[in-house]
Amino acid sequence: MDNKRSIGTAYEEKAVEYLTAKGYRIIKRNFRCRIGEIDIIAKQNDIVVFVEVKYRKTASFGYPEEAVSFSKQKIIRKVAEFFLVGEQLSLDTECRFDVIAILGEEINHIENAF
């Protein structure tokens, strides 16, 4: 499990570098609450962007973005609400849910993924 976690951390770092290069400002990484976790929370202009990062070495077991199931999306939405309330931001704050899918070394940034 430690190896999987360190691999995940390395690819989350690549995602942070990618987002930063695109002008995003990183607010939090690995935001956790009792409901679940969000890999990256960033701001693009005035939009709060919640980012799920998925990595696959190959597509043998499917594409990384396919791992963001409907149930995972529901959890991310609830964690996002928890974050907004905790930061005393309105639930009407403009938000977006993105997926950064990394297949091998190729990064696919899916804006408004869900």
Helix, strand or coil, per DSSP, at residue 40: strand
- The token pair at 50 is 């919640």
Q: How many CB atoms lie within 10 A of CB 40?
A: 22
Per-residue pLDDT tens over the stretch 69-89: 999 999 999 999 999 999 999
Residue 8: pLDDT above 80?
no
Per-residue pLDDT tens over the stretch 19-74: 999 999 999 999 999 999 999 999 999 999 999 999 999 999 999 999 999 999 99
Strand partners, 113: none
Number of domains in the chain: 1
> Which CATH number characterizes residue 24's domain?
3.40.1350.10
Range of the domain at 14: 2-110
Residue 6 has what pLDDT?
73
